[in-house]
Amino acid sequence: MIEGILTGLYTAFSPINLMMVLMGCFAGTFIGMLPGLGPVSAIALMIPITYGLDPASGLILIAGVYYGAIFGGSTSAILINAPGVSGAVATAFDGYPLAQSGQAGKALAIAAYSSFSGGTIGALLLFAFVPFLAQVSLSFQSADYFALMLFGCTAIAAFSGKGQVVKAILMTLLGLMLATVGEDPSGIQRFTFGNPDLYDGISFLLLSMATFALAEALIVVLKGTSDSHAASAMESKNLGSLKLSRQEAKDIAPTVGRSSILGFFVGILPGAGATIASFLAYGMERNLAPDEKKGEFGAGSHRGLAAPETANNAASTGSFVPLLTLGIPGSATTAVMLGALLSYGIQPGPRLYIDNPAVFWSVIISMYVGNVFLLVLNLPLIPYISKLLRVSRQFLTPIILFFSLMGVYLVSFNTFDLTIMVLIAVLAVIFRILNYPLAPLLLGFILGGMLEDNLRRALLIWDGSFTFLWQRPITLTIMVITLLTLCVPLISTVRDSRRAGRSDSVSA
């Protein structure tokens, strides 16, 4: 193993591979900023370039593009509320309000530092525990995944203020319902109304761009020209400082640590990925925050921005565990990377780090190098990227509309998707006016398909019995944590109501 690590170090730090890391990070960052062109598109664009490279250099380039795209996806989420990648959706919850309040520079700096920390901690964990983590990943079964997805649904508490839990639950149910549109796992069409355009269901990109970017543009139009000019003028004068005070750094440090570990371990589970990790981290931090800090979430919380940014980068690193050690792609992105590995004649699996140590260890080592490059590349660019806010809303709104619509259209080349997108955006505007949180809608949609697939498999294995919920120790542990997560907000609500009653009786 030591010999393999030394081989990986020599390979990763060769001039050509350092250049590949730099190129990958640079290209991935800018592709990730464009709505619709996520890591999958970025890697697909890079694969033809890798054909003339040796396997280690090609995979290092692709890996750099991958975490570069995750890193860059936060920029458009923070500045214009248009997440460039699905893993950056939770970043927009607090990043965009920070930008609106004149702290765009600080928001981008927090995202950069958090991403670097999450990727670095993830790379160190991957380096240290990769053989053991492969066994943990392999031990997870459908029942455990179902329990994990169910636990993810409990994060709705993080997206609802006081008195909004019912609204959050309703929006989660709506997201679960939208996830059932299209073909079910057995091949039967559901809720398509005979329309072939709905056979493949509704894409996550369409839903996220409609509920955030397009809905935001429509709200700006509804507010009127004078309001948008005033907002633009305010933002152009107050882009904010890039510096974090010692107290601010101290405040987000525990969040970064917790979210890195959570994101990494979620990332090693095939099928989980950066998006779920970011939502779970955001929900965990919202639930752990003191009462005086909970109100900041969704309105510009530093912790609320640091948590998803840390988790999605740590999860991106963790997703290499099942890919390299088991040959199991955990997402569409790692599936494309698996194809690149196979095209080189390399079979990923338990013997990869023995048979091809240069490839295995150089990719892992390049992740840390890539995170350093990303930080060095992005921090000097923040003052220039922030100037996007100086563009008058009169011009920025059509740009948001263009990227939102074209981003969705270029994925499917189907005008029907644009019609559905506009309808969902109109509904999202109505929901926002009625003070319904939109994040639970996306959370339910993300988890819906995986929840159903794993429930079907678990019931098939256990002959239709729900005893799988408590027969396996891992499943039972996750279910207990889920119940506790659901009960804590209810207990705090009852406690607050009792305190209010006592104070009323005392005052009377």
Express each pLDDT in 255-279 by its tens digit.
888 899 988 888 877 656 677 888 8
Which tops the pLDDT comparison, 443 or 314? 314
Predicted pLDDT at 234: 40
Confidence of residue 393 (pLDDT cuts 50, 70, 90): low
Q: Are 108 and 388 in contact (CB under 8 A)?
A: no
Q: Is the pLDDT reported for residue 332 higher than 70? A: no
Predicted pLDDT at 237: 43
Q: Please name the amino acid found at residue 61.
A: L
Residue 436: CB partners within 8 Å, gap ≥ 6? 167, 170, 171
Q: Is the pLDDT reported for residue 159 higher than 60? A: no
CA dihedral sign of residues 369, 354, 312, 66: positive
Which tops the pLDDT comparison, 227 or 495? 495
Q: What is the mean pLDDT of residues 251-256?
A: 88
Q: What angle, rounded to 10 degrees, do the helices at 39-50 and 15-33 form?
A: 150
H helix or E strand, kind and range, residue 100: helix 89-100
Share of the chain above pLDDT 70, in %: 76
Which tops the pLDDT comparison, 491 or 77? 77
Predicted pLDDT at 229: 41
| Residue 35 tokens, joined | 């709505």
The count of C-alpha atoms lying within 13 angstroms of the C-alpha of 457, restricted to the half-sphere facing its C-beta, is 15
Q: Is the pLDDT reported for residue 200 higher than 70? A: yes
Which tops the pLDDT comparison, 47 or 179? 179
Question: What's phi and psi for 182, nearest 5 deg?
Answer: 110, -155
Predicted pLDDT at 337: 74
Q: What is the mean pLDDT of the chain?
A: 76
Q: Are 375 and 331 in contact (CB under 8 A)?
A: no
pLDDT digits (tens, 9 = 90+) for 104-128: 788 888 888 888 888 888 878 877 7
Predicted pLDDT at 471: 79
Q: How far apart are CA 142 and CA 130, in angstroms?
A: 22
Q: What is the mean pLDDT of residues 356-374?
A: 80
Predicted pLDDT at 373: 84
Confidence of residue 236 (pLDDT cuts 50, 70, 90): very low
Q: Are 98 and 107 in contact (CB under 8 A)?
A: yes
